[in-house]
Structure formats: C-alpha cells, structure tokens
A = this chain, B = another copy of it.
Amino acid sequence: MTDPRFYEALGPVAAETLAAGLVVSGDKATQIREVASFGAGDAHALSYVHGKWSAPAGGLHGCIVASAADAETLLAVGAAAVIQAPSPRAAFARLSAQLFRQREWLEEGLAPRVEPGAVVAPSAVLSPGCAIGAGTRIGPFAAIGPGVTIGRGCSVGPHVSIQCALIGDQVSIGPGAVIGERGFGVAVDQTGFCDVPHFGRVILQDRVYVGANSTVDRGTLDDTVVGEDTKIDNLCQIAHNVRLGRGVMIAAFGGISGSSAVGDRVLMGGRVGLGDHVTVGDGASIAAGAGITSDVPAGETWGGYPGQKLRQWMRETAWLRRAVRKGHGGS
C-alpha cells in the first residue's frame, strides 16, 4: 500500500474518468485509489500487465492496464475493469501519476519529531512529519524529507538526502549518499518518453552502513529493502525494488540493478554488477569486477563477465594465456 507519509492520495477516481480517452472494458465505474504490481492489488488498485502473464493464484482484482488483446481474458480471471492501451507500461505510468502526489521537500505540515538526545546540525533540513530517534546525529546540510523516520543511534553524514524512507537503528549513512530518490525508468509510447513514477520506499534495517556518495533508489510499486548489518561501500548504486539480505558486503562501485534479490551474507568485491531480476543465494561470493547476468546458487563463488563459477573463469583466463603464448612464442 502506498505509504501516506510519502505520497498524498489524489483519488479515488472511477476507471472511466481516469482512463480519459482510452477504452475501458468491464465495470467502468470501478473506484481506483491504489497502485500495485500485477496480481498484488485489491479491488481498488490499478495495475498493468505486458508480455506473457498468468493469472495469480488468488485471482485478479481491481483495474488492469493492458493491451486490447488481453482484455477479455483478464476480465475472465477476475479483473473488475481493463483499461486498454497499446503500450500498457507507458499508459500505467501516465495514469498512476494522477492517483498520488509525492510530498515535496518544501511544503508545510506536521512539525518534525526529534527525540531527546538526538543531535541535529543547525544547517540540516528536517521536513514536516519526519522523526529522528534518540542518540542519532544528523550532519551539516543533511536533507531529511517529509515523513522520513530515522531510528536511534544512527549517524547521517553531511550532504545526505533521504526521501520516502524508513531507517532502522544504528544505521550509518556516509556524506553525500542519496537515499530514496526515484529510480531510473522510462516508458515509451506513441506520444514519446514518460518517466516511470515511483510509489515505493527504501527500508534500511538496523546497523546498515551506506558509504559516501552511494545511491539507494526507492521502489516503483514495492520497496527497496536493505537487510540488517549489510554494509555498502562508497559510490555504489542500489536500484529500485532491490532486496539485499542480512550481512551482505558490497565493495566500492557495486551496482545492483532493478528488482534483483541478494541473500544473506553475500560478499561482493569491488565493481561487481548485477543485472536486473537476478537472484544471488545466501552465502555466495562474487569476485571483483564480475558482471552477473544469471542466478547465483547459494554458497557458490562466481566471477567474470558474463558471470560463472570463479574457478571456471580463472581456468578460461589461464587457458587463453597459455594458448596465445604457445602460438606466439611468449610475450
């Protein structure tokens, strides 16, 4: 459910009204007041689907943006209404932006709550509705967005910005880190480019460390979650909807693409990249510089690009080196 601390609901609105010029099949009067991933919404949620899909186990609810060809089948498996669009993702992006409005840095609202024992630099900005726990230190020029909650015993460095995020206890965020900015997503249709709106949050659990100038984007419809004791070095990028487990270590320039999931106690060397929608199992290790494009089983050590078992990658590297030396008479 879209968190009202970060997003103001502009609905509800009837499917037909929201759809404006587009064709609506099913119950045109369906009241829409929420956004959700396909299959995760209730009777009043707007979702979208593109490409192949299968009906979710619990049946479908609410209003789906989909291609005309999918309309009948979607209604048959439970959708209350279908808004037909040739580019469902782009149409969803445009329509969902009418359902919620992100609360802005600068608007008025409830006074921030700062627990006794917190130390906030006079130059920091605390936005309406935010909360700072006891023993937490907020550095110079930090910008804490509307509704953001920061736990106890945390350290927030200078020039940090935090939006749409819930921060646990004893979390440490290095200077210049950017938490909760919208992720990178562009949808395209016949009318041009459209930035994908982000209605999710960032959750940093207890004792997380985020290094200097690293970025953790908030989710689109779900949350970006960083588990307890996970440590992220400087200049790393954690994209929207990523889920990092507990005790994960990510060295500098690590990049985790959208919707990837990393298990507990995974170790990543410097400049490791994970493609999107990749899963890395508990206890896996990934060598520096690897580019992982497929799932990594628990406990394995991978490297290279495209990523594979580290041993196999090293074997290939050594084999090539020998083959060329033989052929050329050495270097």
Contact = CB atoms under 8 A, between A and B. Distances in A.
A309 to B, nearest CB: 6
Contacts of A252: 184, 237, 239, 255, 257
Interface in A122-169: 123, 125, 137, 139-141, 143, 157-159, 161
Nearest to A212: B178
A331 B306 contact: no
A306 B172 CA distance: 33
Interface stretch (A26-34, A53-61, A68-76, A315-323): A315-323
A45 to B, nearest CB: 27
Interface in A248-277: 249, 251-253, 255, 257, 270-271, 273, 275
Contact of A289 (B176, B231, B291): B291
Assembly stoichiometry (copies): 3
B213 A178 contact: yes
Interface residues of A, number: 73
Given A161-B158, A161-B176, A186-B231, A309 B331 contact: yes
Contact of A159 (B159, B193, B253, B288): B159
Interface of A: 104-106, 119, 121, 123, 125, 137, 139-141, 143, 157-159, 161, 172, 174-176, 178, 181, 184, 186, 192-193, 195, 207, 209, 211-213, 215, 217, 229, 231, 233-235, 237, 239, 247, 249, 251-253, 255, 257, 270-271, 273, 275, 288-289, 291, 293, 305-306, 308-309, 311-312, 315-317, 319-321, 323-324, 327-328, 331
